Structure 1
Amino acid sequence: MLYLTSPNFRGDDVTQLQSLLSRLGFDCGRVDGIFGPLLAHAISEFQKNAGVSIDGICSTDTVAALERLSSQTGEGPGISSLRDTERFRTTGDERKLRRVVVGQFGGLSGVARLISRALRDAHEIVMLVDEPDVAAHVLAANHFQADTYIGLEAHAESECTIAFYAVPGFSSAGGELLSNAIADALRAVLPQLTVNCVGMRLPILRETRMPAVMCSLGPFDVITQHGPEVAEAIAAALALD
């Protein structure tokens, strides 16, 4: 049984519930595995439509109704995925007002500043967060009401990993689009790099309320030596030039 409480329930059961409701057209916000007020409201709306006792609690009867209706409707991206994609694909004048948070966790302060400068030159509203605390990044991005979050960290591995939020049954469509765009841009300017895109459930990707990616960049010496090219590639991935 799942219901709204403080602190909020968290976990894969909540993620699965959010995914099912989203695919059925009930808006529970971002699929993040956190049982918040939007999810409780979506459950009540579903119960009202399914003829189940309306209490905002995911009980056995509610689960049975969800599974029955889900089996009839098939798979689909869901409201959350569609919204995520739309937020990343804004165009025209609206795009010039996009709010972007660039987060730096260690070793890439120079690259983060170059990215921030390139985005500001492209008339974006940019916040730079330069500290190792994940909670500070989440708080800043959500309070700033960012449209996109780009996290950076250096590592000693011989490859780059661009992560977007994904759990079984759901992935951030906007985050995946941005991840692939950054990977393609990095490969174009530095062909010697090995760049992989991967879905992960990192806290920074789960807790932020916008399309987000976490860029773990290496090898460190190559990334720092080519800092301007790396920054230009990441900025270009947002199609802001």
Structure 2
Amino acid sequence: MSNKKILKIGDEGDEVLDLQIRLSNLGFKVDSIETTSKKFGSDTENKLKDFQKFRGLKSDGIFDHITAEILIEATFELGNRQLYLQSPMIKGDDVFELQTQLGKLGFDVGRIDGIFGPQTVKALIDFQKNFGLMEDGIAGHETIRNLQNINNKETPDTQISKIKEIEALRNKSAALKSRRLVIGHFGNGATLANATARMLRKKGAKVIDLNNPDEDVQARTANGFEAEIYLGFKIENDSYSTISYFKTKNSQSEGGFRLASQCSKEITKAVGIETGTAGMQLPILRATKMPAILCSLGPPGEIIKNTEEIAIALATAISNWFREPLKLAE
């Protein structure tokens, strides 16, 4: 799996068997006929789609590098390995669990994203300090044992990170003028991205328009710019449009959720294209630290024909969000 080869229905071999075993170990059991023959058949495809949907990925039944990384992350349980700050940062379900448990105890890990970054280290050291443990920022055996013992007792479900994010949004309320925004695109979304950036600049926003399709580059740029919103575009060969925001089983981006709601409403109203919202764990939404949305829009012909109208609708939605960032579109 280290070569991250793309696998799809019809493929055969050891890499397919490795995928089938990993899916089965995670509860998405593949039919024995396909595992015995090492063939990527319809059951493997369906189980992969189920896994992708469960993990907030695009459910297309294609085993690409994004799905491969998430599948590997899903195998880690808290306590199986030491967690500490390194480059590149450690990712995995064990980090999700660590962040969730710390957050329930009132230690601010920031966004619960499964990435062991500086904010998680700070929260972990605060926990260690409060409970008389070595303050090394390493989630080793002793720290995890104490954390789990405490969490086995009754703890609140509300995460401190959610409370802080909502409070920050409440204090953000302001006009769009001088707000820092980053707009990115993937594939053939450049024209719409540029049109939206132009509309937002007319309203006084400070906009960086990224033409690099690399998600890591886009996320680093947005984080380095300290953007207040990230807006991404993809044109899809679908009959509908979806605006995605970051969400896991334990938490979601409250700002992204509400921004997606506003954008969905304005696009539907402006051009009549069915536009829904979805909480997902797509890499660009996970890696950006601000409220972020990814607009996956279709059908292509309608999007191209209505580029200006959609750009105006999105600029209106973003402006409305800055004025009332906690409001959900009706």
- Provide TM-score, normalisation by structure 2: 0.66
RMSD: 2.1
Asked if residue 235 in structure 1 is aligned to residue 296 in structure 2, the reply is: no
Q: 2:101 aligns with which of 20, 28, 48?
A: 20
Mapping for residues 49-64 of structure 1, pairs under 5 Å? 49-64=130-145
Q: Which amino acid aligns with 1:76?
A: T
Query: 2:286 matched to which residue of 1?
Result: 206
Mapping for residues 156-195 of structure 1, pairs under 5 Å? 156-191=237-272, 193-195=273-275
1-structure distance, mates of 2:317, 2:306:
17
2-structure distance, mates of 1:215, 1:11:
26
1-structure distance, mates of 2:291, 2:310:
20
Q: Which structure would you say has the larger RCO, counting Cα contacts within 8 Å and 6 or more residues apart?
A: 1
Q: 2:156 aligns with which of 74, 79, 82?
A: 74
Q: Can you give the 5+ residue segments of structure 2 that lack an aligned partner in the other structure?
A: 1-81, 324-330
Q: Which amino acid aligns with 1:57?
A: I
Mapping for residues 118-137 of structure 1, pairs under 5 Å? 118-137=199-218
1-structure distance, mates of 2:166, 2:296:
23
2-structure distance, mates of 1:163, 1:28:
23
2-structure distance, mates of 1:218, 1:11:
32
Number of matched residues? 238
2-structure distance, mates of 1:183, 1:116:
18
Confirm or deny: 8 A CA contact 2:106 2:159 kept in the other structure: no
- Provide TM-score, normalisation by structure 1: 0.89
Q: Which one has the largest radius of gyration?
A: 2
Confirm or deny: 8 A CA contact 1:88 1:148 kept in the other structure: no
Q: Which amino acid aligns with 1:127?
A: I
Which has a greater percent of strand? Answer: 1
1:73 counterpart SS class: coil
2-structure distance, mates of 1:232, 1:218:
17
Query: Structure 1 residues 67, 98: closer, same or farther in 2, change over 3 A?
Result: farther
Once the two structures are TM-superposed, the CA of residue 13 in structure 1 deviates from its matched residue by 1.4
Query: Structure 1 residues 92, 37: closer, same or farther in 2, change over 3 A?
Result: closer
Query: 1:106 matched to which residue of 2?
Result: 187
Q: Can you give the 5+ residue segments of structure 1 that lack an aligned partner in the other structure?
A: none
Once the two structures are TM-superposed, the CA of residue 68 in structure 1 deviates from its matched residue by 4.7
1:167 counterpart SS class: coil
Once the two structures are TM-superposed, the CA of residue 203 in structure 1 deviates from its matched residue by 1.0
Deviations 1:119-152 (A, max 9, x none): 1111111110123221221122122111100000
Q: 1:3 aligns with which of 74, 77, 84?
A: 84
